[in-house]
Structure 1
Amino acid sequence: MRPPSSKKSFTLVSCYIGSGVMVLFIVLMLAAFLIHSLPAWRGGVWDLLAGTEWYYRSEKFGMLSMIYGSAVVSLIAILFAAPLGIGAAVYTAEIAGHRWRMIVKGIIELLAGVPSVIYGILGILFLREWVRRGFDLNTGDTLLTAGLLVGVMILPTVVTLCDDALRAVPRIQRDAARGLGMTRSEMIFSVLVPQAGSGMMAAVLLALGRGVGETIAVMLVVGRQDNQLPASIVDFDKILEPGQTLTSKLGGSEVNIAFGDPGHWGAITALALVLLLGVMVITVLGRFLVHYAEKRGGVS
């Protein structure tokens, strides 16, 4: 039999090797995208990031409209999923009985396992038509439709992680609130939700990290129209028009067309690099909030 210290050392070495491999993979992935995108960055970093026109036949590569589309879709998704997800988590964690909690959790887990292409088809069948009729539009393929669809897709993740954050609040907090004569609603919204706030914010960000990288479902309902930018920061009409996101651009046929053309391919890989860095920042921020909540005792 192997000594316990030997087992511990083997486990520790395995963890270090696994972590090292993952870090190396991330570094190599970033390096690959950076190297392939150099021809595009050499034309001007600001011109590429803030350029308003994307016409590959004219060798104009400005990704601002796609960054705008991704940001709008993400914002709509958060505004839709966060209130519903937090409300559902409060119900499952603090209000529902054990039987109903198991039913709701089962439904949520089932929804989390649905393939994104199925969500996309459902978006075509129902959501796109609702948006078209509700806003009297010529087409329901809009940034709003894509944002709502992504919100539906990340909702199970928000519910699950927020439920975990609420249930991780120490029982002594509940007992103290009841001892002070608080009602259930007062205990929930005055004690538990603030205590689990960092964990729930992290839940929303981690769910958003998944939503930002969503491709297939967004492609099916966003309209995929380039160069769609608002006239001003307070112009919201563009969310009711077809648009383009980083993922829908990268998932289209232009990727195949670009391969072999250094300038065009460089712009495409620059899009991928920006998307990857954005998802990494959101995920790291979410993990930081989880760590902060753990230190406060809000998340176990």
Structure 2
Amino acid sequence: MREKYRTYLILVLVGFLAACSSGGAQLEGELVSTEKRIKELGDAIDGGSLRNAYMIKQYAQVLSQSRPELAPLLTELSKEATRSNPLFQSLTSRYSAVRNETEAFDSWVEKVEELQLIQSAADTESFNDALSDTVNVIADLSQGELARVNAVSKKTELQSNDAKDYGAGSQYVGNPHYGHWSHGSGGSLWAWYGQYHFFSSMFGGNRYYYNDWAGRRGYSYYHDVGRGSYTSRSQRASQNDVDRRARKQFGSGNRYKSPYSKTRSGATGMSKSSLAKQKSAFKSPYSKTTASTSKFQSSTRNSGFRTSRSSSRGK
């Protein structure tokens, strides 16, 4: 009997070691693939092969000539077409956190899942589509002079989604790469990061309250297509925390609607990779978290511009 038990323990140990070995090999493979994908994206950015990066630079140049008072803001937005883009910076940081083990993961499986999300986000076609948010921010600033890309016109978008016009930079509101939700007795209020504070100082100091924005927001690529892959684990945990706070404060009497309870329409001309992301973006309720999110702990702290196949007037 004792011999059988010893044999059983040996088999269990061998199986465990085999699983660890297999997991380590898969993790190493994903690290190599992720590094390669990020390098390819960086090269595409540097080489000017991303159409929407080109559109950002051209739109900013055209609008700065007709609206010189917007030059400081447009200078900042032009950086979105470079490696300084916060989405690209986030991808490199997330990859480094896995590679250098500066972020806590419960298992190699969670590391692989994170790396696969980074690879999906670093796909050049997807990243090009993600840049449409910035192109359309500039297009909306032009008040119809420049066309939106990969999205319907502002008027059509607001009408089809019964959305509220939140003014300049509305595509960025709620995107953790451009600001954060600060909490107070009246609810969570959107606060821009320093370089994007122009949206507040130059356009009348619009105030965005989470509970209001959540139910009346319009379409953006980040929120309706790319959030799953362009959001880090810490950012996702923060998003769920904001949602829980709002549900607790405003949830009674159907006063609160999650910003992700339904997808907003408005996307046009997206790549196949983005279409795949869009189909899976709203499969689970916003209030639910993945295992990796709920267990998250960080050791670091915590050409013709007006017409194109996928362009539309920004009126």
Higher strand share: 2
Same fold (TM over 0.5): no
Structure having the larger proportion of residues in helix: 1
- TM-score normalised by structure 2 residue count: 0.24
TM-score between the two structures when normalised by the length of structure 1:
0.24
